[in-house]
Amino acid sequence: MPVNSGLAALSDHFLGATMVVYALAMLGYAAEFAFGRFGRTSGAPAVEPVMSSPSSAGAARLTASERVPAMAGAGLGAAERSGEVDGGVDGGGVDGGGQGGPGAMTDPAAALAAAMAGDSEHPPGPAGVRWIGRIAVALTALGWLAQVGSVTARGFAAHRVPWGNMYEFSSMITLVAVSTYLVMLARTRARVRWLGVFVMFPVVLYLGFAGTVLYVAVGPLVPALNSYWLKIHVAAAIVASGVFMLSAVTTVLYLLKDRWENQLAAVAAGRAGASAAMRKRGGIMMRLPTAAVLDRITYRVIGLAFPIWTFAVIAGAIWAEAAWGRYWGWDPKETWSFITWVIYAAYLHARATAGWKGNRAAAISLLGFSALFVDYYLVNLVISGLHSYAGVN
Cα dihedral sign, 296-302-304-310: negative
* Minimum CB–partner distance for residue 55 and another protein (Å): 4
- Is position 79 an interface residue for ligand HEM (rule: CB under 6 A)? no
- Is position 269 an interface residue for ligand HEM (rule: CB under 6 A)? no
| Residue of this chain nearest to ligand HEM (CB atom) | 352
- Is position 92 an interface residue for another protein (rule: CB under 8 A)? no
* Interacting span for ligand HEM (CB under 6 A) from 193-201, 289-297, 315-323, 345-353: 345-353
Q: Is 316 exposed, middle or buried (0-12, 13-18, 19+ CB in 10 A)?
A: buried
Q: Which of residues 189, 326, 349, 360 is near ligand HEM by CB under 6 A?
A: 349
Whole-number Å distance between alpha carbons of 390 and 378: 11
Q: Binding partner of residue 97 among another protein, ligand HEM, none, CB under 5 to 8 Å per kind? A: another protein
**Per-residue contact flags (x/-) with ligand HEM for residues 298 to 337, judged by CB under 6 A:** ----------------------------------------
Contact in structure between 215 and 392 (CB atoms under 8 Å): no
Q: Binding partner of residue 128 among another protein, ligand HEM, none, CB under 5 to 8 Å per kind? A: none
* Interacting span for another protein (CB under 8 A) from 152-160, 164-172, 188-196, 317-325: 317-325
- Is position 352 an interface residue for ligand HEM (rule: CB under 6 A)? yes
* Minimum CB–partner distance for residue 304 and another protein (Å): 8
Q: What SS3 class is residue 125?
A: coil
Which CB atom, from 29 or from 341, has the smaller least distance to ligand HEM?
Answer: 341
C-alpha distance from residue 314 to each of 232, 321, 389 (Å)? 11, 11, 19
Number of H helices, E strands in the chain: 16, 0
* Minimum CB–partner distance for residue 210 and another protein (Å): 24
Whole-number Å distance between alpha carbons of 156 and 151: 9
Whole-number Å distance between alpha carbons of 200 and 206: 10
Amino acid letter for position 15: L
Q: Which DSSP category does 54 fall into?
A: G
Q: Binding partner of residue 2 among ligand HEM, another protein, none, CB under 5 to 8 Å per kind? A: none
Q: Please state, as a whole number, how many other Cβ atoms lie within 10 Å of the Cβ of residue 302.
A: 26
Q: What SS3 class is residue 147?
A: helix
* Minimum CB–partner distance for residue 243 and ligand HEM (Å): 15
Q: Which residues inside 51-80 make contact with another protein, applying CB under 8 A?
A: 52-53, 55-62
Contact in structure between 7 and 189 (CB atoms under 8 Å): no
- Is position 217 an interface residue for ligand HEM (rule: CB under 6 A)? no
Whole-number Å distance between alpha carbons of 181 and 196: 8
- Is position 82 an interface residue for another protein (rule: CB under 8 A)? yes
How open is the CA angle 18-23-26, to the nearest 5 degrees? Answer: 125
Whole-number Å distance between alpha carbons of 231 and 236: 8
Which CB atom, from 227 or from 370, has the smaller least distance to ligand HEM?
Answer: 370
C-alpha distance from residue 330 to each of 233, 311, 317, 357, 386 (Å)? 17, 18, 11, 32, 10
- Is position 8 an interface residue for ligand HEM (rule: CB under 6 A)? no
Whole-number Å distance between alpha carbons of 290 and 204: 26
Which CB atom, from 39 or from 108, has the smaller least distance to another protein?
Answer: 108
Whole-number Å distance between alpha carbons of 291 and 289: 7
Q: Which of residues 104, 213, 222, 342 is near ligand HEM by CB under 6 A?
A: 342
Q: Binding partner of residue 296 among another protein, ligand HEM, none, CB under 5 to 8 Å per kind? A: another protein
* Interacting span for another protein (CB under 8 A) from 42-50, 123-131, 193-201, 340-348: 340-348
Which CB atom, from 56 or from 262, has the smaller least distance to another protein?
Answer: 56
Whole-number Å distance between alpha carbons of 118 and 130: 15
* Minimum CB–partner distance for residue 347 and ligand HEM (Å): 9
Q: Site for ligand HEM (CB under 6 A): how many residues?
A: 5
Q: List residues near ligand HEM by CB under 6 A.
A: 342, 345, 348-349, 352
